[in-house]
Amino acid sequence: MVGRLETGIDVLDRKLDGGLPPGSVVAYTAEPASQSELLLYELTAARGTLYLSTQRSDEAIREAVDSSLARVGSPTVRRLDRENPIREAKRLVDALPEGANLIVDTVDTLERCERNRYVDFLNYLKERMLATGSIAVLHCLKGGHVPDHRTETIHAADTVFDLRTTVGATELENHLTVPKFRGGGAPTETIKLELSERVEIDTSRDIA
């Protein structure tokens, strides 16, 4: 569709009629033990990316991206200040160039800040994405103690990617759904993915 920005991941772009509308904020939910970061790394291939980390060091993320066997880009990686992550994130987002990607990995740290400050950040983030025609992806971990303001993240997001990982007797399966998509009709079917060295459709069984 004209005006969409490709994610760089073919299966997602097909399901989303060509990609995401410029200005989109995406909440990407996944289990901590999944290979969810592979999708984040592949997103960096589509365009210039600012990669904000709240947990892992910038060196660790650069090494993971550089060693990936998938098609990736050369993101600018910054570790957020633990003392005031929202203030640091705003400062960095304020300098985001036109038509870029912004990845926050993970957003959990920001979600644990005071509610009004976090909601203000979400509104500011949306305004910056619209002003620059960019896309923001907020990596949200599931399981364990979910941050108090996860609901605010999901509500503010234009699109939700939900990755579910199940461990069977003989195999591990990853299913991606898009339950929310303000850019059009949300895909109704689950996408079965293989997350090993890159993001690929798992064709071992029918996608259902």
Percentage of the chain surpassing pLDDT 90?
67
- Rounded Cα distance between 53 and 69, Å, is 21
Predicted TM-score (pTM) of this structure: 0.91
**What pLDDT is attached to residue 208?**
40
- Kindly tell me if the per-residue pLDDT of 104 is higher than 90: yes
**What pLDDT is attached to residue 55?**
93
- Kindly tell me if the per-residue pLDDT of 178 is higher than 50: yes
Q: Which of 5, 7, 2 is nearest to 161 (CA)?
A: 7
Kindly state the average pLDDT of the residues 85-91.
96
| Residue boundaries of the structural domains of the chain | 22-163
Average pLDDT, the chain: 89
Lowest mean pLDDT among 26-30, 50-54, 81-85, 117-121: 81-85
CATH class of 22-163: alpha beta
Lowest mean pLDDT among 78-82, 119-123, 127-131, 186-190: 186-190
